[in-house]
Amino acid sequence: MDRRSLIKNAGIAGVLAAGVAPAVHAQAAVRWRLSSSFPKALDTIFGAAEVFAKNVKAMSGGKFEISVHAGGEITPPFGVVDAVQQGSVEMAHTAPYYFFGKNECFALGCAIPFGLNSRQMTAWTYEGNGLKLMREFYAKYGMISFPGGNTGAQMGGWYRKEIKSMKDMKGLKMRIGGFAGRVLERMGAVPQNIPGGEIYTALEKGTIDAAEWVGPYDDLKLGFNKVAPFYYYPGWWEGGPQLDFFINQKAYDALSAENKAIVEAASAVAHVDMQAKYDARNPGALKELVGKGTKLRPFSNDVLAAAFKTSNEVYAELSAKNEDWKKIYADYSKFRKDANLWFQFTEAKFDSFMQSQQKSL
Ligand code: CA
């Protein structure tokens, strides 16, 4: 028996043991496997799964251990939902919008163009109806979700040529994560869904004209500045993309009450940890990129206005044909309206004043 099947069998045995004796304090060891959609090199985004596993192990006194596997190691990066659903791994860490092809609602649990920012997404998830609605939806796939980080507003990606107006979007072959491709397609671009670990080669070879990934810290690490000079902002399709831990429902149900509480707490720690890492590491990376010759460019109002209009058309069409979307998006968009009503006053004023003063700080 190889090491992998040993771990798998130990995992099943652990789950069964925990299931038959949940009230007993001397728990049997639980061993799970977590499949990430991300490469190990991305310490912020892949790292959130490691932070989660480390805390689960520490909080359980070593009785609940989760091995963390990079995308492609035991499951293809975009195969993690199938793997969790089938139970071939107990859990995954991913950006749910990768799976919009199964149902567009996956995007609502992560990011949609002109959606909630990071703070608002966390508020909708924990204090609004977000977690409840998304869990009802994910139950159809035999899994339960726990928040697993946020990158904050992303950059708009790397371009070989400048995007001065909507005309420059026509025919643009662009790697873009998840659901935003639906909107870009209608704007005349040709979206490609490529895993993080494969973007550099595609951009270097010219298979694609542009690529977005996350923001300065990760993008510098992946070296996109070496193969495209223009770096646009904002990533209007990802104002606050949230990641999730997806757990096979049966595996979760078999956990003791203590281990369930540990999972919930460890996910909340990982959720905060990822945003903190991005906010702390992006400034230095941005300075380094600009120092190496990267040219920062804002998207024109023309492009933003067209993208906003197109996004709303897509959402209206989805509400007419996808019952789940209609239900979740109604709640999401009401929350977004109120959140922006509030954020426009003191948060926005404070931020814009401080940003205008940053050179004097
Ligand atoms: Ca992205």
Q: How many angstroms is it from 279 CA to the middle of ligand 1?
A: 16
Integer Cα distance of 228 and 48 in angstroms: 28
Q: How many angstroms is it from 317 CA to the middle of ligand 1?
A: 24
List helix spans (H) across the chain: 3-20, 47-59, 80-86, 105-108, 118-126, 130-138, 180-186, 199-205, 216-222, 249-253, 257-291, 301-321, 323-343, 346-356
Cα 72-216-117 angle, rounded to 5 deg: 90
Q: How many angstroms is it from 203 CA to the middle of ligand 1?
A: 15
Q: How many angstroms is it from 153 CA to the middle of ligand 1?
A: 9
Tens digits of per-residue pLDDT, 242-284?
A: 999 999 999 999 999 999 999 999 999 999 999 999 999 999 9
CB-neighbour burial class of residue 328 (10 A; exposed 0-12, middle 13-18, buried 19+): buried
Pairwise pLDDT comparison (333 vs 14), residue with the higher score: 333
Q: How many angstroms is it from 215 CA to the middle of ligand 1?
A: 8
129 forms bridges with which residues in the sheet? Answer: none
Q: How many angstroms is it from 235 CA to the middle of ligand 1?
A: 7
Q: Which residues are in the CB-under-5-Å shell of ion ligand 1?
A: 154, 177, 212, 238
296 forms bridges with which residues in the sheet? Answer: 231
Q: How many angstroms is it from 301 CA to the middle of ligand 1?
A: 20
Tens digits of per-residue pLDDT, 125-170?
A: 999 999 999 999 999 999 999 999 999 999 999 999 999 988 999 9
Look up residue 67 and give its two tokens.
Answer: 């091995």
pTM higher than 0.75: yes
Q: How many angstroms is it from 178 CA to the middle of ligand 1?
A: 8
Q: How many angstroms is it from 206 CA to the middle of ligand 1?
A: 19
Q: How many angstroms is it from 213 CA to the middle of ligand 1?
A: 4
Integer Cα distance of 340 and 321 in angstroms: 27
Q: How many angstroms is it from 320 CA to the middle of ligand 1?
A: 27
* CA-wise closest residue to 51 among 148, 154, 151, 150: 148
Spans of all domains in the chain = 3-151+240-279
Cα 325-327-332 angle, rounded to 5 deg: 85
Q: Quick one: fold of 3-151+240-279?
A: D-Maltodextrin-Binding Protein; domain 2 (3.40.190)
